[in-house]
Amino acid sequence: MERNVTLDFVRGVAILGILLLNISAFGLPKAAYLNPAWYGDITLRDAWTWAVLDLFAQVKFLTLFALLFGAGLQLLLKRGKRWIQARLSLLVLLGFIHGIFFWDGDILLAYGLVGLICWRIIRDAHDVKNLFNTGVVLFVIGVAILLLLGMISGGSTNRSWVPDAANLQYEQFWKLGGGMEAASNRIDMLGSNLLALGAQYGWQLAGMMLIGASLMRTGWLRGEFSLRHYRRTGLWLVLIGLVINLPAVIAQWQLNWDYRWCAFLLQAPRELSAPFQTIGYAALIYGFWPQLSRFRLVMAIACVGRMALSNYILQTLICTTLFYHLGLFMHFDRLQLLAFVPLVWLANILFSVLWLRYFRQGPLEWCWRQLTARASGVSSNNTSG
């Protein structure tokens, strides 16, 4: 089956874009991911960096990846039940290993678990409109639960929002020290993440997967609509997303990132804006693909997308080495950390381009495919996924 290079490029953009936010999760305490005033104060440089990223990147690239994951589930349906179940179960196992032994910010486990539920919904949905609407409903339920959590949460600041000196010191100790202490803390975080997945985030994730599957089924993610359609749709969707998110960004800044309002309630507009901007970004790529495809860098990023899993893990290996093993954790602010991003991107791009000169798949993609074939009893020679 011939690859869709545009789709590979969109996937590459998602993988590279995720690092814009993950770099803070690697280089700063866990509390800093959502709260720029995590240390009880904030510099103007930190505030502006947070605001720009929140407006254009936060949640957006994860949402884009979820959309593409759902599109991939639609493409996998022809492989059959055993292949899909084996493939997603192995992803769950890899996410479990990644989350416990390497990094507590893993997303693979969540995608695998939700995917095991969503692929059946996608398979049994005979009407693409109903599939899309179901995705929208699930996503809105997730946002509504987030609002509900905000309403019932207490007004006092949570230690996970503004940790005290002892908590910061302990987090630095186990992240730099590693070993069983780090694994134990990652297991605790994994339990919390699974609880959040079941209670709230899983609804949104499932919704985006179903939306992605429906857009693939209609041919929208195959690039089968007109360039004018993609350009106009992309522009409007990005603008709608910005209009939804901007007031919440301003409000959080004005409220000095107060836990009562900003930990839940003012997160909701960002979550709600993400599907609009995400689909808008993808539409603009499709709409301007004739111009974009002329650049060698674009083709190189498409190689990153072909090796999405390998590149996601490579980002973990590079960043955990830099910040944990080499001791750079908590040495840089939010803006300074962004200077590491192009270097990791360069590693992703060079690795992908060089590897694909000699092999058809990334190393982890190849292993995933072979293990899936063994676990499902379906020959890997009859598959390309």
The rounded mean pLDDT for the chain is: 93
pLDDT tens track for 91-113? 999 999 999 999 999 999 999 99
Q: Of 1, 85, 87, 70, nearest to 370 (Cα)?
A: 87
The secondary structure of 132-163 as a DSSP string is: HHHHHHHHHHHHHHHHHHHHHS-SSPPTTTS-
pLDDT of residue 100: 94
Count the domains in the chain. 1
CB 275 within 8 A of CB 154: no
Say if residue 156's pLDDT is above 70.
no
Asked if the model's pLDDT at residue 2 lies above 70, the reply is no
Q: What tens digit of pLDDT does each residue of 84-94 get? A: 999 999 999 99
Kindly tell me if the per-residue pLDDT of 125 is higher than 50. yes
Contacts of 17 (CB under 8 A, 6+ apart): 57, 60, 61, 64
User: What is the Cα–Cα distance from 19 to 206, expressed in whole angstroms?
Assistant: 22
Span 303-315, average pLDDT: 97
Q: How confident is the model at residue 377 (pLDDT cuts 50, 70, 90)?
A: confident
Q: What is the pLDDT of residue 153?
A: 75
pLDDT, one tens digit per residue, over 338-374 is 999 999 999 999 999 999 999 999 999 999 999 999 9
Q: Which domain holds residue 336?
A: 5-382
Confidence band for 154, pLDDT divided at 50, 70 and 90 = low
Residue 65 has what pLDDT?
Answer: 95
Q: What is the mean predicted confidence (pLDDT) over 300-309?
A: 96
Q: For residue 126, what pLDDT band results from cuts at 50, 70 and 90?
A: confident
- Amino acid (1-letter code) at residue 364: L
Question: In which band, very low, low, confident or very high, does the pLDDT at 201 lie, cut at 50, 70 and 90?
Answer: very high
Mean pLDDT of 184-212: 94
